Amino acid sequence: MTKLTLGSHPYLLGFDQLERLLERNAKSGNEGYPPFNIEQTSNNSYRITLAVAGFAETDLAITVEDRQLVIRGRQRDDSDGRVYLHRGIAARQFQRSFVLADGVEVGEAIMENGLLHVDLTRAQPETVVQTVRIRRG
């Protein structure tokens, strides 16, 4: 029996890119750090909030790569001369990726109280009806 994938289904034309996005997202291995929220702020806008306590704005990088929002964090080691009895605040680097649908654009990023907010907006889809003319062959 042949395995039918999303990209090879006869009624789903042009969805092979969606299948690649799903595979890439599954392989990204996003662990639980840093924790994040995704909220819908209106019908066409969203906000991703990451808990990045201890990170400065200069320790963070936000890029959009091949329809993926990628947020990276790398702290400088400033523990020179410090002796920790307990170190429970994570100071490790991270990378979080979010796949963006077509029409979703990244807006501004705001850092406040140890939280990084990244705003996203979705463009209003146009309702288009196309009539295809049949010509004689």
For the cut 90, the answer to whether the pLDDT of residue 112 exceeds it is yes
Residue with the larger pLDDT of the pair 21 and 99: 99
Per-residue pLDDT at 126: 76
Residue with the larger pLDDT of the pair 102 and 125: 102
All structural domains of the chain with their residue ranges: 30-122
Task: Look at the block and give the residue holding tokens 């994570």.
Answer: 90
Beta strands in the chain (DSSP E): 36-42, 45-51, 60-65, 68-73, 94-99, 104-112, 115-122
Sign of CA dihedral 36, 38, 41, 46: positive
Bond into 35 cis (ω within 30): no
pTM: 0.71
Q: Which CATH number fits domain 30-122: 1.10.10.10, 3.30.1360.20, 3.40.50.970, 2.60.40.790?
A: 2.60.40.790
Most confident of 13-17, 80-84, 118-122: 118-122
Per-residue pLDDT at 18: 67
Per-residue pLDDT at 130: 85
For the cut 60, the answer to whether the pLDDT of residue 29 exceeds it is no
Long-range pairs for 125-131: beta carbons < 8 A, 24 or more residues apart: none
Per-residue confidence band for 24, with pLDDT thresholds at 50, 70 and 90 = low
What is the C-alpha to C-alpha distance for residues 125 and 117, in angstroms, rounded to an integer? 25
Q: For 50-103, what is each residue's pLDDT tens digit?
A: 999 889 999 999 999 988 999 999 987 766 788 889 988 767 899 999 989 888
Per-residue pLDDT at 26: 63
